[in-house]
Amino acid sequence: MMQGNEADWHYVPLNNSFGQSVNNVFYATFGSQKAFVKVNASPLLASISQVGLTPKIIWTKRNSNGDMLTAQSWVDGVVLAATEMGDMQVNQTLATLHHSKMLVEAFKKFGNDVTTPKQLVDRLHQHAHRSLIQNTYLSNALSELREATPKFDAQNAVVVHGDVNHHNWLKNDHSGKIYLVDWDTVALSDAFVDVAHLLSHYIAPNQWREWLEYSGYRVDEETFVKVKWYGTLSFLKQINENLWSDNLQAANLEILGLRNFCAIFK
């Protein structure tokens, strides 16, 4: 329960792992109370919190500007390192998310539609940085995605996080529980939006089969077509975001990662 008026709480902007201020995210304190506060968070966050995938919501309040503040329990913990993404809790968290019928229904109640593969790649194309379009290799990769979208049955759409980068995973120092945070990219789509990002960026190719089988996926040609398509999309999205933020070093690392990833399928 929230104690104290809005003005009584002290808000400090939070920084990401690069030391950059994160928009609309704050560390809030009131006496001995601590909270993680998000401004205008996804309305689905309450349902996600109920499932236990993200820290518990302790209060919500509309401020004097009309913005909705959502406070979550403060977790003393650390962001997962890239080398920790093979932790089975990560796998289990995604399985819980992707198998939750309750979250699908909650998402639909907010009037959200299913996002198809075509819509995902068209959205990237519409917001592509000039440097991405002018780079022959990247432009060709984007064109290939637009020309050959994978099979997708909207009836099988699940709630996906949309950005399972290791910076969005938080491990509690005390309990060891791992949470998935920052749900601004949540969508109703193909589970491989998340699965392929994880496999392409963090899991060794010789472990993909075991990972997929453990997660209940069929290990066949269609599955690997999805891994390649959505994995390529995840690299291009990361590259595009880094270009827009002028982080050329990170963009170049993602380009190298994309080249190595695509080479696996040749």
* 205 and 117, same domain (yes or no): yes
Catalytic residue among 67, 76, 113, 163: 163
Return the percentage of the chain with pLDDT > 90, whole number: 71
Q: How many CB atoms lie within 10 A of CB 153?
A: 8
- The pLDDT value given to residue 22: 54
- Over the stretch 61-83, which tens digit does the pLDDT of each residue have? 887 788 888 888 888 889 999 99
pTM attached to this predicted model: 0.89
- Same domain membership, residue 231 and residue 194: yes
User: Is 163 annotated in the active site?
Assistant: yes
- Say whether both 63 and 136 belong to one domain: no
In-domain check, residue 1: no
pLDDT of residue 264 exceeding 70, the answer is yes
Whether 36 is in a domain gets the answer: yes
Residue 241 lies in a domain: yes
More confident residue, 19 or 41: 41
Domain identity same for 101 and 165: yes
Instruction: CATH number of the domain at 60, please.
Output: 3.30.200
Which of 52, 75, 98 is the last residue in one of the domains?
75
List, for residues 129-162, the tens digit of each pLDDT value: 999 999 999 999 999 999 999 999 999 999 999 9
Mean pLDDT confidence for 171-186: 93
Here the CATH number for the domain that contains residue 104 is 3.90.1200.10
Q: Which carries the bigger pLDDT value, residue 71 or residue 22?
A: 71
Read out DSSP for the chain? Answer: ---S-GGGSEEEEEE-TTSPEEEEEEEEEETTEEEEEEES--TTHHHHHHHTSSPPEEEEEE-TTSPEEEEEE---EEEPPGGGTT-HHHHHHHHHHHT-HHHHHHHHHTTPPPPPHHHHHHHHHHT--HHHHH-HHHHHHHHHHHH-PPP--GGG-EEE-S---GGGEEEETTT--EEE---TT-EEE-THHHHHHHHHHHS-GGGHHHHHHHTT---SHHHHHHHHHHHHHHHHHHHHHHHHTT-HHHHHHHHHHHHHHHHTT-
More confident residue, 163 or 61: 163
Tell me, what's the pLDDT at 189?
98
User: What's the confidence (pLDDT) of residue 68?
Assistant: 84
For residues 96 and 167, membership in a common domain is answered with yes
Q: Are residues 192 and 114 in the same domain?
A: yes
Do both 199 and 131 map to the same domain? yes
Residue 2 has pLDDT above 50, yes or no: no
Residue 123, in any domain of the structure = yes
Same domain, 94 and 59: no
39 and 111 inside one domain: no
Same domain, 48 and 22: yes
List CB contacts of 141: < 8 A, sequence separation 6 or more: 232, 236, 258, 262
Q: Looking at the domain assignment, is residue 52 inside a domain?
A: yes
When the pLDDT of each residue in the chain is averaged and rounded to a whole number, the result is 90
pLDDT at 238: 98
Q: Which domain holds residue 220?
A: 79-263
Q: Considering its fold, how many domains does the chain have in total? A: 2
Tell me: do 176 and 197 sit in the same domain: yes
| Residue at which a domain ends, from 53, 75, 97 | 75
Residue 138 lies in a domain: yes
Query: Domain for residue 194, yes or no?
Result: yes
Confidence tier at 91 by pLDDT (50, 70, 90)? very high
In a domain, 70, yes or no: yes
Same structural domain for residues 153 and 61? Answer: no
Model confidence pLDDT, tens digit, residues 34-66? 878 888 888 888 899 999 999 898 888 887 788
pLDDT at 90: 96
Task: Show which of 75, 97, 129 is a domain's final residue.
Answer: 75
